[in-house]
Amino acid sequence: MKWRIIADSSCDIFDLDHKPQNLYFSTVPFVITIDDKDFVDNEDLDVSELVAAMASSKKSFTSCPSPAEWIREFGEEGDVFAVTISANLSGSYNSACTAKEMILENDPDRKIEILNSRGTGPSLNMIIYKLRELISRGLTYEEVKQEIHKYMEDHKLIFALSSYHNLVNNGRMPKIVGIVLGHLGLWGVGIASEEGTIKMKKIAKGGKRTLQVIMSDLKERVADKGCVVISHCENDEFAGNLKNAVEKAYTDMEVRIMRTRGLCSYYAERGGIIVGF
């Protein structure tokens, strides 16, 4: 049996290690437009250049992968699991669903499941790694489908941002909230709601207090997955400090650190942190 895991580029990875030979993994890119320049969120993207361009931009927006791009990566054979950023934050999920419908018109027996992560970055990463585990165990398509939906039920996401320009400009955060936080130089700590929308939780002053807020939330809501995934946009120090704090509090917890790709860098902005658990 052949398998395909396809994710949009909000997953923050390009490849999946330790894949079984019958598993294909790939991503479809968002496009980030800064003023009049398009940044395609693929292996060739220089995230530092993107972040620098954002800092001086007058207008910017993102475009989700088209159905044609999803169709190309779904291929002509193999059972497919597609993983997308929250459907309440982007049209990527709907685009993937359209691609599925188009394929099933010609090949009604094809097995394609579209998974709405209800998050971003670490959310997709954890789902992808769990899919790899389930497939490696030799489960059937229906068994993998059942297990992955069960796994996704208890997923949590928290993020900490010190800049809110792009979230506000793209309607992901109320303008007044972004203005107030930005002028006061505060970190906004938020969570992903059960519906996959952004919900502000706390305001923190400085990195030390922000780390404390994240750890407090982790202890309050920690999911029994044995894993915490940290994505960061050019903030190695904070990510490392958070990793150390998690490992000290949970001695048997696996902690993975990733650098954000283009799409998550665009919304997290320089210094932003996204944590999945």
pLDDT mean over 249-277: 95
Look at residue 172 in the predicted model and tell me its pLDDT. Answer: 54
Q: In residues, how long is the chain?
A: 277
Which band of pLDDT confidence, cut at 50, 70 and 90, is reported for residue 41? very high
Q: Which of 169-178, 182-191, 245-254 has the lowest mean pLDDT?
A: 169-178
The percentage of the chain sitting over the pLDDT mark of 70, rounded to a whole number, equals 91
Percentage of the chain modeled with pLDDT above 90: 75
- Over residues 192-197, the mean pLDDT reads 83
What pLDDT, on a 0 to 100 scale, did the predictor assign at position 190? 87
Look over the chain and give the mean of its residue pLDDT values, rounded to a whole number: 91
Q: Is the pLDDT of residue 16 over 70?
A: yes
Residue 22 pLDDT > 90? yes
pLDDT at residue 207 in the model: 87
Q: What pLDDT is stored for residue 181 in this prediction?
A: 52
- Indicate whether 164 pLDDT > 90: no
pLDDT at 74: 98
pLDDT, one tens digit per residue, over 117-144 is 999 999 999 999 999 999 999 999 999 9
Q: Is the pLDDT of residue 176 over 50?
A: no
pLDDT at position 221: 86
Residue 243 or 59, more confident:
243
Structure tokens at 167: 């979230």
**What is the per-residue pLDDT across 80-107, written as a single tens digit (0 to 9) for each?**
999 999 999 999 999 999 999 999 999 9
Among 267, 272, 53, residue whose Cα is nearest residue 160: 272
Ordered by start, the domain boundaries in the chain are: 3-30+65-152, 157-276
Give just the sign of the alpha carbon dihedral 115, 121, 125, 127: negative
Q: Does domain 157-276 have CATH number 3.10.300.10?
A: no
Spell out the CATH class of 3-30+65-152: alpha beta
Which one has a higher pLDDT value, 219 or 137? 137
